Amino acid sequence: MIELSHLEQRAIRYLNYKGDVTEEQVELLRNAMNDMKRVSRPQFVVRYLSLQEDNSGHLFVDAPVNISFDSLQKLFRSKDSDSLCILVSTLGPAVDKRTSLLAERDAGKMVLFDACANAYIEEVTNDYQKKLNLGGETFRFAPGYGDVPLSIQREIFDFMPEIGRIGIELDESNLMHPFKSMTGFIGFKSGK
Amino acid sequence: MVSNMEKRKIRELIGKEFIVFDGGFGSQLQARGVKAGENSALINIKNPELVTAIHADYLNAGSICLTTNTFGADSFHIESEEELGTIISAAIDNAYKAIEQTGKDAYVFYDMAPTGKLLKPLGDLDFEDAYEVFAQQVRLAAATNRIDGFIVETFTDLYEMKAAILAVKENSDLPIISSVTYSENGNMLTGASPVQVVTVLEGLGVDMMAVNCSLGPKELLPIVQKMLDVAVLPILVQPNAGLPVFENGETKFLVGPEEFSEYIGKLIDSGVAGFGGCCGTTPDHIKASCDVAKDHAFAYAPKAQKTRVTGTTTCVEIGPRVMRCGERLNPTGKKKMKLALAEHRLYDIVDEGVAQVDAGADVLDVNVGVPGIDETGVMTELVQLLQEVIDVPLQIDSTNFETLEQACRIYNGVPLINSVNGKREVMDAVFPIVKKYGGVVLGLCIDEDGIPPTAEERFEIAMRIVNEAAKYGIPKERIIIDSLVLTASAQQKEVIETAKCVGFVTERLGIGTALGLSNVSFGLPNRPLINRTFLVMALYAGLKMPILNPLDKELMGAIDAFEVLNNSDANAEDYISKHVNDVTTTAAAATPAAPTSAPSGEGALEGSDLFVAIVKGQKHNAVEAVKKMTDVAPLDIVSEHLIPALDKVGQDYDKGKIFLPQLMTSAETSKLVFDEIKDKLVSDDGSEKKGPIVIATVEADVHDIGKNIVKVVLQSYGFDVIDLGKDVKADVIVEAVKEHKPIAVGLSALMTTTVVFMEKTIKALKEAGLNVPVFCGGAVLTQDVCDNIGGDYYTKDAMDSVRVCEKFQAEKNGDK
Check A19 against B656: CB less than 8 A apart.
yes
A163-177, B367-381, B677-691: range with highest mean pLDDT? B367-381
Residues of chain B contacting A115 with CB distance shorter than 8 Å: 661
What integer pLDDT is reported at residue B188 of this predicted model? 86
CATH superfamily of this structure's domain B609-683: Methionine synthase domain (1.10.1240.10)
What integer pLDDT is reported at residue A191 of this predicted model? 67
Residues of chain B contacting A12 with CB distance shorter than 8 Å: 659
Check B665 against A114: CB less than 8 A apart.
no
The more confident residue out of B539 and B247 is B539
Closest CA to B465 of B481, B453, B477: B481
Q: Which residues pair with B180 in a beta bridge?
A: B155, B211
How do strand B107-112 and strand B65-67 relate by DSSP bridges?
parallel
Chain A nearest-CA distance from B346, in A, is: 12
Strand order in the sheet with B690-697: B719-723, B690-697, B744-748, B774-777, B793-794
Hey, of A28, A43, A111, which one would you mutate to test binding to chain B, going by the most B CBs within 10 A of its CB?
Answer: A111
Does A32 map to a domain? yes
Residue B588 contacts by C-beta under 8 Å, 6 or more apart in sequence?
none
Name the burial class of residue B33, with classes exposed (0-12), middle (13-18) and buried (19+) by CB atoms within 10 angstroms of its CB.
exposed
What integer pLDDT is reported at residue B664 of this predicted model? 78
Q: Which of residues 174-193 of B touch A (CB under 8 A)?
A: 184, 189-191
Q: Which of A17, A35, A48 sits opposite B656 (nearest CB)?
A: A17
Chain-wide mean pLDDT for chain B? 89
Percentage above 70 pLDDT, chain B = 93
Upper half-sphere CA count for residue B50 (Cβ side, 13 Å):
19
Domain total in chain A: 1
> The domain spanning residue A107 has which CATH number?
3.40.109.40
Q: Is B117 an 8 Å CB contact of chain A?
A: yes
B128: enclosing H helix or E strand: helix B127-143
Q: How many CB pairs under 8 A join A and B?
A: 126
Q: Which of residues 323-362 of B touch A (CB under 8 A)?
A: 347, 354, 357-358
What integer pLDDT is reported at residue B102 of this predicted model? 96
| Residue B377 confidence (pLDDT) above 90 | yes
Hey, of A89, A131, A165, A192, which one would you mutate to test binding to chain B, going by the most B CBs within 10 A of its CB?
Answer: A165
Full domain range(s) for residue A103: 6-188
What integer pLDDT is reported at residue B586 of this predicted model? 54
Check B668 against A108: CB less than 8 A apart.
yes
Check B708 against A103: CB less than 8 A apart.
yes
What integer pLDDT is reported at residue B169 of this predicted model? 96
For residue B264, the Cα-to-chain-centroid distance in whole angstroms is 34
How do strand B325-329 and strand B545-548 relate by DSSP bridges?
parallel
What integer pLDDT is reported at residue B617 of this predicted model? 83
Check A50 against B117: CB less than 8 A apart.
no
Q: Which of B347, B659, B753 sits opposite A101 (nearest CB)?
A: B347
Q: Is the ipTM value over 0.85, yes or no?
A: no
Does A35 map to a domain? yes
Does A74 map to a domain? yes
| Residue B269 confidence (pLDDT) above 70 | yes
Q: Let me know how long chain A is.
A: 192
| Residue B410 confidence (pLDDT) above 90 | yes
Lowest pLDDT segment from B136-140, B338-342, B632-636: B632-636
Check B118 against A106: CB less than 8 A apart.
no
| Contact status, residue B679 vs residue B686, Cβ threshold 8 Å | no
Chain B nearest-CA distance from A152, in A, is: 12
What integer pLDDT is reported at residue B604 of this predicted model? 56
The per-residue pLDDT for range B160-171, each reduced to its tens digit, is 999 999 999 999
| Contact status, residue B515 vs residue B546, Cβ threshold 8 Å | yes
Does A101 map to a domain? yes
What integer pLDDT is reported at residue B6 of this predicted model? 56
Q: Which residues of B579-590 are buried (b: 16+ CB within 10 A; e: fewer)?
A: eeeeeeeeeeee
CB atoms within 10 A of CB B491: 15
Q: Is B764 an 8 Å CB contact of chain A?
A: no
The per-residue pLDDT for range A80-135, each reduced to its tens digit, is 999 999 999 999 888 888 888 787 778 888 889 999 999 999 999 999 999 888 98
Residues of chain B contacting A94 with CB distance shorter than 8 Å: 121-122, 388-389
What integer pLDDT is reported at residue A190 of this predicted model? 82
Q: Which of A38, A41, A131 sits opposite B190 (nearest CB)?
A: A41
Report residue A144's pLDDT band, with 50, 70 and 90 as the boundaries.
confident
Task: Quote the CA–CA distance of B749 and B781 in Å, as a whole number.
Answer: 8
Does A1 map to a domain? no
Task: Quote the CA–CA distance of B123 and A94 in Å, as a whole number.
Answer: 10
Q: Which of B156, B389, B668 sits opposite A106 (nearest CB)?
A: B668
Closest CA to B473 of B420, B436, B526: B436
Three-state helix/strand/coil letters over B754-779: HHHHHHHHHHHHHHCCCCCCEEEECC
- Locate the chain B residue with the closest alpha carbon to A93: B122
| Contact status, residue B165 vs residue B204, Cβ threshold 8 Å | yes
Question: Average pLDDT for residues B109-129, to the nearest whole number?
Answer: 87
| Residue A164 confidence (pLDDT) above 70 | yes
What integer pLDDT is reported at residue B812 of this predicted model? 81
Check A108 against B116: CB less than 8 A apart.
no
Report residue A180's pLDDT band, with 50, 70 and 90 as the boundaries.
very high
Domain range B321-578, CATH class = alpha beta
| Contact status, residue B294 vs residue B323, Cβ threshold 8 Å | no
Strand order in the sheet with A181-188: A59-61, A43-53, A83-90, A181-188
| Residue B441 confidence (pLDDT) above 80 | yes
Q: Let me know how long chain B is.
A: 816
- Locate the chain A residue with the closest alpha carbon to B156: A165
Handedness of CA B291, B292, B295, B296 (dihedral sign): negative
Question: Average pLDDT for residues B7-34, to the nearest whole number?
Answer: 91
CB atoms within 10 A of CB B76: 13
Chain B nearest-CA distance from A2, in A, is: 15
Q: Indicate the DSSP class of residue B638.
A: I
Q: Is B667 an 8 Å CB contact of chain A?
A: yes
Closest CA to B29 of B8, B51, B48: B51
Check B358 against A34: CB less than 8 A apart.
yes
What integer pLDDT is reported at residue B395 of this predicted model? 98
The more confident residue out of B676 and B762 is B762
Please confirm whether the linkage preceding B239 is cis (ω < 30° from 0). Answer: no
Does A151 map to a domain? yes
Check A144 against B354: CB less than 8 A apart.
no
Check A93 against B122: CB less than 8 A apart.
yes
The per-residue pLDDT for range B728-753, each reduced to its tens digit, is 999 999 999 999 999 999 999 876 66
| Residue B677 confidence (pLDDT) above 60 | yes
Chain A nearest-CA distance from B233, in A, is: 29
The more confident residue out of A158 and B754 is A158
Domain range B10-293, CATH class = alpha beta
Tell me the fold of B688-815. Rossmann fold (3.40.50)
Q: Is B761 an 8 Å CB contact of chain A?
A: no
Alpha helices in B144-282 (DSSP H): 158-171, 194-203, 217-228, 257-270
Closest CA to B645 of B628, B627, A21, B625: B625
